[in-house]
Amino acid sequence: MLKQGLQQKLVQKLSPLQIQTIKLLELPTLELEQRIKKELEENPVLDEAVESDDTEEASSGNISLSEYSTDEQIPSYKLYANNQGKDLKPQYNVFSVKESFHQNLISQLGYSQMDPRERNIARFIIGSLDDDGYLRRDLDSLVDDISFRLGITTNERELEQILSKIQEFEPVGVGARNLQECLLLQIRAKNKTPEQQLAEKIISDHFNEFTKKHYQKIIAKLSITEEQLKSAIDEILKLNPKPGGQIDDSYNEQSQQVVPDFVLELKDGELVMTMPRFSVPELKVNKRYADLLLASTKSGSKSGKEAATFVKQKLDSAKWFIEAIKQRHNTLQNTMNAIIEFQHDYFIDGDETKLRPMVLKNIAEKTNLDISTISRVVNCKYIQTHFGIFPLKYFFSEGLLTESGEEVSTKEIKNILMESINQEDKKHPLTDEELVTVLSKKGYKVARRTVAKYREQLNIPIARLRKEL
């Protein structure tokens, strides 16, 4: 038996332009540059605009597709996007010829007393080291990998011997399997002063007590004075817990380069925001392909129709891409202007006490944009101010009510916590309960669990681990 029913569905369909805009909105300046270069390579209709293009187009007239037999007309104003801001200064990529961390170790391997078989194994071990210089893989798994990849049968004992030779390389401590071994390698390479001998004994035999700062237990077990322990700890603090960080890796420096998406200047007491385009090219539609579409459309041949279809698709794609970049520029500009207006007092002098509590919803309401759009704008974007470069996420924080009823940013609370901990007596550091009391005296009513959460966000250990002699 047949049954009839009525069903209503709500389906959201995004246009190609909307999809392009969403994807481009998330990209920071450096990634946008790469994305535009890729689009220029893939779409022959797109071209980079140069200064001479303006005069050339003025003489030849604007590109109009109204005379083409297409289903959709493309207004001429959409064929050009001025997605540029103020060029502050030219940006150049700087390449260095410095050795990376692993390259440095490989070069030292050439001077070691090893046979070809041991060198191959040593090279594999060096390749297994982390960037901080530690070997965190167990030797048993390395035995299997070496057998599978190099075809060399070995065992843990041989790997231990080869690893000990690698641990003689510079910087001292490289190849260690844990922090204790790393510190021991470094302290043993020093001259044996009484303080260094004591430091070696502490690391070797009482490392657990040392990490937990149970100093009285160490004093009792070693029968030493507090001054002797302090001298030994000073020697330990001179050691490097991350030996791999001593070698400058130019490739890592290059990857960590930050290019601001916005520049905020203070001129005559007024805030002026610009969006420097740096090396992001200005785009336009190549007029030759528009002429080709016209010629192909007028041709009645099959090949002419196929060519017209191809060019029409590329023209549409170029139109959507140019318009998406234009919309990206406008959205970023409106959002940043709203943030500057909201945090105006803070941007004047950079005083964090003037930083107002702000969430994504606040900016979404000011710009009439969706919260998800604001989130995409804020993600991985930076602004350069007269007091430093900051990620946009820095200006967003939750609010907290004081005893007087005034709403303050949680960043202000964290700054007070940081200052209180920096000024505390290191022999008797402040506990979380005592920090609650400190905040309460200054008018901030905060629970102990909240204080603990803020302290962890600041990467500050508990009171016991902050204790010093």
Amino acid at 230: K
* Least confident segment among 44-48, 70-74, 111-115, 231-235: 70-74
Ranges 31-45, 53-67, 154-168, 269-283, most confident:
154-168
What is the CB neighbour count within 10 angstroms for residue 342? 16
Closest CA to 382 of 272, 251, 276: 276
Q: How confident is the model at residue 90 (pLDDT cuts 50, 70, 90)?
A: very low
- Tokens representing residue 451 in the block: 């204080």
Q: Is the pLDDT of residue 339 over 80?
A: yes
d(CA 187, CA 171): 13
Whether the Cβ atoms of residue 23 and residue 36 lie closer than 8 Å to each other: no
Nearest to 159 by CA among 181, 180, 137: 137
Of all residues in the chain, what percent are helix, strand and coil, respectively (each to 5)? 55, 5, 40
pLDDT value of residue 305? 66
Determine the average pLDDT of the residues in 108-115: 86
Rounded to an integer, what distance in angstroms lies between the CA atom of residue 261 and that of residue 259?
Answer: 6
Dist. CA 82–CA 280, nearest whole Å = 11
Using CA of residue 445, residue 449, residue 455, residue 456, what is the dihedral sign?
negative
Q: What is the DSSP string of 4-62?
A: ------------HHHHHHHHHHT--HHHHHHHHHHHHHH-TTEEE--THHHHHHHHH--
Q: What is the CA radius of gyration of the chain?
A: 32
What is the rounded distance in angstroms from the CA atom of residue 416 to the CA atom of residue 411? 9
CA 372, chain centre distance (Å) = 20
Phi then psi for residue 324, to 5 deg, are: -65, -40
Quick one: pLDDT at residue 256? 52
Confidence of residue 83 (pLDDT cuts 50, 70, 90): very low
pTM passes above 0.85: no
What is the DSSP-derived secondary structure letter of residue 265? Answer: E
Percent pLDDT > 90 in the chain is: 12
C-alpha 317, offset from chain centre: 31
Helix (H/G/I), strand (E/B), else coil: 81: strand
Q: Which of 159, 161, 186 is nearest to 173 (CA)?
A: 186
390 and 382 Cβ atoms separated by less than 8 Å:
yes
Per-residue pLDDT tens for 200-214?
999 999 999 888 888
Per-residue model confidence (pLDDT) at position 181 = 92
The whole-number pLDDT of residue 184 equals 92
Q: How buried is 392 (Cβ within 10 angstroms: 0-12 exposed, 13-18 middle, 19+ buried)?
A: buried
Average pLDDT over residues 53-74: 42
Average the pLDDT over 174-179 and give the result. Answer: 91
Q: 349-355 contacts: CB < 8 A, separation 24 or more? A: 349/387, 350/385, 350/386, 350/387, 350/388, 352/409, 352/411, 352/412, 352/415, 353/412, 353/415, 355/395, 355/397, 355/409, 355/411, 355/412
Mean pLDDT of 77-104: 52
**63-67, 151-155, 186-190, 212-216: least confidently modelled range:** 63-67
Higher pLDDT, 163 or 279: 163
pLDDT band at 399; cut points 50, 70, 90: low
Mean pLDDT (whole number) for 52-58: 43
Q: Which residue has the tokens 């009839």?
A: 4
For residues 294 and 66, what is the distance between their CA atoms, to the nearest angstrom?
A: 10
Please state the domain extents for the chain.
Answer: 16-50+67-87+273-388, 99-169, 178-248, 398-466
Which of 109-113, 174-178, 352-356 is predicted with the least confidence, judged by mean pLDDT? 352-356
- CATH fold group of domain 398-466: Arc Repressor Mutant, subunit A (1.10.10)
What three-state secondary structure class fits 398? coil
> Cα 84 to chain center, whole Å?
24
Would you say residue 135 has pLDDT above 60? yes
Q: Which helix (H) or strand (E) holds 263?
A: strand 262-267
Q: What is the pLDDT of residues 345-398, one digit of tens each?
A: 888 888 877 888 888 888 999 999 888 888 888 888 888 988 888 888 888 877
Q: In whole angstroms, what is the distance from residue 12 CA to residue 123 CA?
A: 55
Cβ within 8 Å of residue 431, ≥6 positions away: 462, 463
